[in-house]
Amino acid sequence: MPGVRGNSFATINRWLGQNLSVEDYRELISSMRPPVTRILTKPEGWSWYPLEYLSEILLSLKDSKNLRNGETLDQLGRFLADEDMGGAPKTTTSFMPMPRVLPRVPFLWSRSMDCGDFNILLVSESENKASICLSGYDGGPMHCALIRAWLERTFELMSGGKVSVEETSCRYANGGNACHWEVSWE
Protein backbone atom coordinates (compact mmCIF):
# COMPACT_ATOMS: atom_id res chain seq x y z
CA MET A 1 0.00 0.00 0.00
CA PRO A 2 1.51 3.35 -1.00
CA GLY A 3 2.26 5.56 1.93
CA VAL A 4 3.09 8.99 3.25
CA ARG A 5 5.42 9.49 6.18
CA GLY A 6 3.81 10.83 9.35
CA ASN A 7 6.02 13.91 9.49
CA SER A 8 4.25 15.18 6.35
CA PHE A 9 0.92 15.05 8.18
CA ALA A 10 2.45 16.88 11.16
CA THR A 11 3.69 19.59 8.77
CA ILE A 12 0.27 19.89 7.12
CA ASN A 13 -1.32 20.20 10.55
CA ARG A 14 1.12 23.03 11.46
CA TRP A 15 0.29 24.81 8.21
CA LEU A 16 -3.44 24.50 8.91
CA GLY A 17 -2.91 25.91 12.41
CA GLN A 18 -1.12 28.92 10.93
CA ASN A 19 -3.68 29.56 8.19
CA LEU A 20 -7.06 28.84 9.81
CA SER A 21 -8.88 30.20 12.81
CA VAL A 22 -9.63 27.71 15.60
CA GLU A 23 -13.27 27.48 14.46
CA ASP A 24 -12.34 26.94 10.82
CA TYR A 25 -9.75 24.33 11.81
CA ARG A 26 -12.32 22.41 13.86
CA GLU A 27 -14.80 22.57 10.98
CA LEU A 28 -12.20 21.25 8.55
CA ILE A 29 -11.15 18.42 10.88
CA SER A 30 -14.77 17.42 11.48
CA SER A 31 -15.28 16.97 7.73
CA MET A 32 -12.76 14.09 7.67
CA ARG A 33 -13.12 10.46 8.70
CA PRO A 34 -11.88 9.69 12.25
CA PRO A 35 -8.72 7.79 11.20
CA VAL A 36 -7.67 10.67 8.95
CA THR A 37 -8.33 13.21 11.70
CA ARG A 38 -6.29 11.12 14.14
CA ILE A 39 -3.34 10.83 11.74
CA LEU A 40 -3.46 14.52 10.90
CA THR A 41 -3.55 15.67 14.50
CA LYS A 42 -1.33 13.03 16.14
CA PRO A 43 0.89 11.32 13.57
CA GLU A 44 3.92 9.27 14.49
CA GLY A 45 6.67 11.04 12.54
CA TRP A 46 8.47 8.06 11.04
CA SER A 47 5.45 5.81 10.51
CA TRP A 48 3.89 5.35 7.08
CA TYR A 49 0.21 6.09 6.47
CA PRO A 50 -2.03 5.40 3.44
CA LEU A 51 -1.84 7.82 0.52
CA GLU A 52 -5.65 7.95 0.53
CA TYR A 53 -5.45 9.87 3.84
CA LEU A 54 -3.50 12.64 2.13
CA SER A 55 -6.07 12.61 -0.69
CA GLU A 56 -8.89 13.04 1.82
CA ILE A 57 -7.11 15.97 3.47
CA LEU A 58 -6.57 17.66 0.10
CA LEU A 59 -10.24 17.15 -0.82
CA SER A 60 -11.30 18.67 2.50
CA LEU A 61 -9.02 21.64 1.81
CA LYS A 62 -10.53 22.02 -1.65
CA ASP A 63 -14.04 22.04 -0.20
CA SER A 64 -13.16 24.44 2.63
CA LYS A 65 -14.78 27.84 2.21
CA ASN A 66 -12.07 29.44 4.35
CA LEU A 67 -9.11 28.79 2.07
CA ARG A 68 -8.38 30.20 -1.38
CA ASN A 69 -8.40 27.11 -3.60
CA GLY A 70 -6.06 28.42 -6.28
CA GLU A 71 -3.36 29.33 -3.80
CA THR A 72 -3.91 26.75 -1.07
CA LEU A 73 -2.11 23.79 -2.63
CA ASP A 74 0.71 26.02 -3.85
CA GLN A 75 1.22 27.50 -0.38
CA LEU A 76 1.00 24.08 1.26
CA GLY A 77 3.46 22.50 -1.20
CA ARG A 78 5.96 25.30 -0.63
CA PHE A 79 5.52 25.01 3.14
CA LEU A 80 6.16 21.24 2.97
CA ALA A 81 9.38 21.90 1.02
CA ASP A 82 10.50 24.56 3.50
CA GLU A 83 9.96 22.12 6.36
CA ASP A 84 11.56 19.20 4.50
CA MET A 85 14.63 21.24 3.61
CA GLY A 86 14.95 23.00 6.96
CA GLY A 87 17.64 20.63 8.16
CA ALA A 88 20.83 19.01 6.95
CA PRO A 89 20.06 18.45 3.25
CA LYS A 90 19.67 22.18 2.58
CA THR A 91 22.88 23.14 4.32
CA THR A 92 24.95 20.48 2.59
CA THR A 93 23.61 21.02 -0.92
CA SER A 94 22.47 24.63 -1.00
CA PHE A 95 23.51 26.74 -3.96
CA MET A 96 24.42 23.87 -6.23
CA PRO A 97 23.96 24.19 -9.99
CA MET A 98 20.58 22.83 -11.09
CA PRO A 99 22.09 19.98 -13.15
CA ARG A 100 23.54 18.68 -9.86
CA VAL A 101 20.37 19.37 -7.87
CA LEU A 102 17.99 17.48 -10.18
CA PRO A 103 19.38 13.97 -9.52
CA ARG A 104 18.73 14.45 -5.79
CA VAL A 105 14.95 14.66 -6.25
CA PRO A 106 14.33 10.88 -6.02
CA PHE A 107 16.14 10.73 -2.66
CA LEU A 108 14.33 13.77 -1.27
CA TRP A 109 10.99 12.38 -2.47
CA SER A 110 11.60 9.01 -0.82
CA ARG A 111 12.04 10.65 2.59
CA SER A 112 8.32 11.52 2.64
CA MET A 113 6.72 9.15 0.11
CA ASP A 114 7.23 5.45 -0.45
CA CYS A 115 5.37 5.47 -3.76
CA GLY A 116 6.20 6.96 -7.12
CA ASP A 117 9.49 7.19 -8.97
CA PHE A 118 10.98 10.46 -10.17
CA ASN A 119 13.04 10.28 -13.35
CA ILE A 120 15.10 13.00 -14.95
CA LEU A 121 14.32 12.70 -18.66
CA LEU A 122 16.35 15.56 -20.09
CA VAL A 123 18.70 18.25 -18.81
CA SER A 124 19.72 21.07 -21.14
CA GLU A 125 22.35 23.18 -19.41
CA SER A 126 22.57 25.51 -22.41
CA GLU A 127 18.84 26.32 -22.20
CA ASN A 128 18.60 26.08 -18.38
CA LYS A 129 15.76 23.56 -18.67
CA ALA A 130 15.02 20.02 -17.63
CA SER A 131 12.19 17.56 -18.03
CA ILE A 132 11.23 15.29 -15.13
CA CYS A 133 8.46 12.77 -14.61
CA LEU A 134 6.80 10.99 -11.71
CA SER A 135 5.47 7.50 -12.43
CA GLY A 136 3.79 4.96 -10.18
CA TYR A 137 2.08 7.58 -8.02
CA ASP A 138 -1.68 7.29 -7.65
CA GLY A 139 -2.54 10.46 -5.78
CA GLY A 140 -4.81 12.32 -8.16
CA PRO A 141 -4.84 15.72 -9.85
CA MET A 142 -4.76 17.76 -6.63
CA HIS A 143 -1.58 15.98 -5.67
CA CYS A 144 0.01 17.24 -8.90
CA ALA A 145 -0.49 20.87 -7.84
CA LEU A 146 0.98 20.13 -4.42
CA ILE A 147 3.96 18.28 -5.95
CA ARG A 148 4.61 21.08 -8.46
CA ALA A 149 4.88 23.63 -5.65
CA TRP A 150 7.03 21.26 -3.57
CA LEU A 151 9.40 20.72 -6.50
CA GLU A 152 9.69 24.42 -7.28
CA ARG A 153 10.46 25.42 -3.69
CA THR A 154 12.86 22.51 -3.15
CA PHE A 155 14.80 23.49 -6.27
CA GLU A 156 14.89 27.14 -5.18
CA LEU A 157 16.25 26.21 -1.76
CA MET A 158 18.89 23.87 -3.13
CA SER A 159 20.08 25.99 -6.03
CA GLY A 160 19.71 29.42 -4.46
CA GLY A 161 18.20 30.67 -7.72
CA LYS A 162 14.87 31.47 -9.35
CA VAL A 163 13.23 28.26 -10.53
CA SER A 164 9.96 27.64 -12.36
CA VAL A 165 8.19 24.28 -12.56
CA GLU A 166 5.27 23.78 -14.96
CA GLU A 167 3.30 20.59 -15.42
CA THR A 168 3.35 19.70 -19.10
CA SER A 169 1.35 16.47 -18.93
CA CYS A 170 -0.87 15.12 -16.18
CA ARG A 171 -1.73 11.42 -16.22
CA TYR A 172 -5.07 12.22 -14.60
CA ALA A 173 -6.03 14.74 -17.29
CA ASN A 174 -4.36 13.14 -20.32
CA GLY A 175 -4.04 9.46 -19.41
CA GLY A 176 -0.75 7.62 -19.43
CA ASN A 177 1.51 6.33 -16.70
CA ALA A 178 3.29 9.47 -15.49
CA CYS A 179 3.02 13.17 -14.82
CA HIS A 180 5.64 15.35 -16.52
CA TRP A 181 7.04 18.72 -15.49
CA GLU A 182 9.35 21.17 -17.19
CA VAL A 183 11.85 22.83 -14.90
CA SER A 184 13.55 26.07 -15.89
CA TRP A 185 16.00 28.19 -13.95
CA GLU A 186 17.99 31.41 -14.13
Does the residue 37 lie in any domain? yes
Comparing CA positions, the residue from 2, 64, 59, 73 lying closest to residue 28 is 64
Q: What pTM does this model have? A: 0.92
Q: How far apart are the first and last CA of the chain?
A: 39
Does the residue 74 lie in any domain? no
Residue-level pLDDT at 88: 44
Whether residue 103 is found in the same domain as residue 171: yes
**Side chain identity at 170, as an amino acid letter?**
C
Does the residue 83 lie in any domain? no
Domains: count for the chain: 2
Whether residue 63 is found in the same domain as residue 105: no
Residue-level pLDDT at 87: 54
Whether residue 63 is found in the same domain as residue 104: no
Whether residue 152 is found in the same domain as residue 95: yes
Task: Express as a percent the part of the chain with pLDDT over 70.
Answer: 92
Segment 78-135, tens digit of pLDDT:
999 999 987 545 555 557 899 999 999 999 999 999 999 999 999 999 999 999 999 9
Whether residue 34 is found in the same domain as residue 96: no
Does the residue 82 lie in any domain? no
Whether residue 98 is found in the same domain as residue 177: yes
Q: Is 57 in contact with 143 (CB distance < 8 Å)?
A: no
Lowest-pLDDT range, 51-65, 75-89, 134-148, 155-169?
A: 75-89
Does the residue 80 lie in any domain? no
User: What gap in Å lies between CA 33 and CA 59, rounded to an integer?
Assistant: 12
Does the residue 81 lie in any domain? no
Q: Is 167 in contact with 148 (CB distance < 8 Å)?
A: yes
Whether residue 177 is found in the same domain as residue 96: yes
User: What gap in Å lies between CA 105 and CA 118, rounded to an integer?
Assistant: 7
Structural domain harbouring 145: 88-185
Whether residue 48 is found in the same domain as residue 120: no
Alpha helices in 64-112 (DSSP H): 69-84, 88-93, 98-101, 105-110
